[in-house]
Structure 1
Amino acid sequence: MTNLKPLILFFYLLAIVVMISIPSSHCSRTLLPENEKLIENTCKKTPNYNVCLESLKASPGSSSADVTGLAQIMVKEMKAKANDALKRIQELQRVGASGPKQRRALSSCADKYKAVLIADVPQATEALQKGDPKFAEDGANDAANEATYCETDFSAAGNSPLTKQNNAMHDVAAVTAAIVRLLL
């Protein structure tokens, strides 16, 4: 039994050394209350608190981001939503839309979401990197408008099969614009 005491002491000290040497980046978010508060306070200043909170908390980089970093995360979320909408449009075009008005609306929406990916997202990304939030806000607002216009395209063609994607894109883009506005 006396031979086990040094071994137990060794493992006890080893456990302490391991716990001390774990980098703080591996700790859970509950150890970073100031960043949690930054996310919550930032999201309270947006038009959709739940979308903001859900989007930012899903991103691993948000726990250590400043407001610019949070805006960059939301721009990436805009890109993801635009890609989701384009995939849905392609699925609908593949199975065949019901009538020429619906086909035209789908084609128009595809152009709008391509514009988001080709122009709005890169504009917002570059503006945030260069410290010019006004242009980032413009890019986010344009993306929100494209989603709204896409939904409107279906008014003459009947019910929109893209309402879910359009609403998601609009909400994320509006939240992005609001976060970027905090940098002005």
Structure 2
Amino acid sequence: MILTCSPTFIFLHLVASLLFFIPPIQSILSHTSLLEQICRQSPNYHLCVMTLRSSIHHKSKADIAGFAHLTLEIVYANASITLERLHKIYVQTDDPKLKMALKDCLVSYNLIVKTYLRNALNALQNGDYKVVQQKTSITIIEVESCNNKFRNLATSPLRDTNIYVQNLCSITMSIVNKLFYTYQPILI
């Protein structure tokens, strides 16, 4: 038995598919305008736009808190990758000065990944924006400390990575600042 579909049935099927599987254009536009507003107030507009634009096409919450969570997740992922990279470089190097700098950075990035950023993510989920600000700020300081360990060496294998993590942290802090000041109770 051969089944045939009428053109009307095919058309209705396509319309139904579009309604259920493609997000409304207005929704995308409102997310884009919020994204633009957030990124214009961040310290690194282009990186902010590139980072947050991906959230429009994913199932992340496209509000200020959702954007803050997304950037914090990206910071966490990049810091975790940096920690793995540090381990590899540390094992492979024979230079004692480089090894010492890498060892110090391993301590910093272990704290960043296993303590500061995890605490920041938990605090963000609980709406404790002050803790998110503190932990993100401490992360920036730890990354800068790691960067400084290579100051007297010929090269820094983490320079670009450290700058990227710092920039992402700065963007996260600017978004969290919006949350912090938006949702603070007014005391009279």
Interval containing the TM-score (normalised by the shorter chain): 0.7 to 0.9
TM-score, with normalisation over the residues of structure 1? 0.85
Whichever residue aligns with residue 40 of structure 1, its letter is: E
Q: What is the aligned counterpart of 2:119 among 99, 123, 128?
A: 123
Q: CA deviation at 1:164?
A: 1.1
Whichever residue aligns with residue 117 of structure 1, its letter is: V
Q: What is the aligned counterpart of 1:68 among 50, 61, 65?
A: 65
How far apart, in 2, do the equivalents of 1:106 and 1:86 lie? 10
Q: Is the 8 A contact 2:61 2:67 kept in 1?
A: no
Q: CA deviation at 1:115?
A: 0.8
- Counterpart of 1:4 in structure 2 is none
Q: Is the 8 A contact 1:127 1:136 kept in 2?
A: yes
Secondary structure of 1:58's counterpart equals helix
Secondary structure of 2:99's counterpart equals helix
- Structure 1 residue runs of 5 or longer lacking an equivalent are 1-7
Q: State the superposition RMSD in angstroms.
A: 2.4
Distance 1:24 1:139, change over 3 A: farther
Q: Which stretch of structure 1 is more off in the superposition, 29-38 or 111-120?
A: 29-38
- Counterpart of 1:183 in structure 2 is 179
Q: What is the aligned counterpart of 2:162 among 158, 163, 166?
A: 166
Whichever residue aligns with residue 33 of structure 2, its letter is: K
Question: Does structure 1 residue 41 correspond to structure 2 residue 37?
Answer: yes
Paired residues for 1:11-50 under 5 Å: 11-23=7-19, 26-27=22-23, 32-50=28-46
Deviation per residue, 1:140-165 (Å, 9 max, x gap):
11112211111101113342111011
- Structure 2 residue runs of 5 or longer lacking an equivalent are 181-188
Q: CA deviation at 1:130?
A: 1.0
What percentage of residue pairs aligned between the two structures are identical? 24
Distance 1:61 1:139, change over 3 A: farther
How far apart, in 2, do the equivalents of 1:118 and 1:28 lie? 39
Paired residues for 1:78-117 under 5 Å: 78-98=75-95, 100-117=96-113
How far apart, in 1, do the equivalents of 2:59 and 2:138 lie? 24
Secondary structure of 1:32's counterpart equals helix
How far apart, in 1, do the equivalents of 2:172 and 2:162 lie? 15
Count of aligned residue pairs for this structure pair: 177
- Counterpart of 2:186 in structure 1 is none
Distance 1:92 1:137, change over 3 A: same
